[in-house]
């Protein structure tokens, strides 16, 4: 998942070999597409290219994947701002993201939290 998120940082084509097509990977691929990347599977390889054109991590996709948080820092780094929603995924108990947010602040980001209602 971190490798998929890191592909947002380049416009050059990235080929990731032997990628399993399980649900988390497919959700991450949809996040990449929603950010503006061109993504396709060729055999078991994932081909990713293009620039990201959106700074919004889709709410419905974010709610399905805990690893959607990996995209936050990458998009923030590339575009200077990012809008994201609560990360979902498996229910392994409480897993706060405050340390992620604090890290972004330490790097100079301003965090604005809004209610989703």
* Catalytic residue selected from 18, 42, 43, 90: 90
- Other Cβ atoms closer than 10 A to 36: 13
Name the residue with tokens 């405050």: 98
Query: Is 90 noted as a catalytic residue in this protein?
Result: yes
Measured in residues, the chain has a length of 117
Catalytic residues: 90
């Amino acid at each position: 998942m971190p490798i998929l998120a890191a592909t947002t940082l380049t416009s050059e084509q990235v080929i990731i070999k032997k990628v399993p097509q399980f649900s988390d990977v497919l959700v991450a691929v949809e996040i990449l597409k929603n950010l503006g990347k061109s993504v396709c599977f060729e055999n078991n390889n994932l081909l990713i290219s293009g620039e990201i054109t959106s700074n919004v991590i889709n709410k419905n996709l974010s709610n399905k994947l805990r690893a959607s948080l990996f995209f936050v820092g990458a998009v923030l780094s590339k575009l200077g701002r990012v809008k994201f929603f609560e990360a979902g995924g498996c229910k392994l108990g409480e897993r706060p993201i405050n340390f992620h947010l604090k890290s972004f602040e330490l790097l100079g980001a301003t965090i604005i939290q809004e209610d989703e209602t």
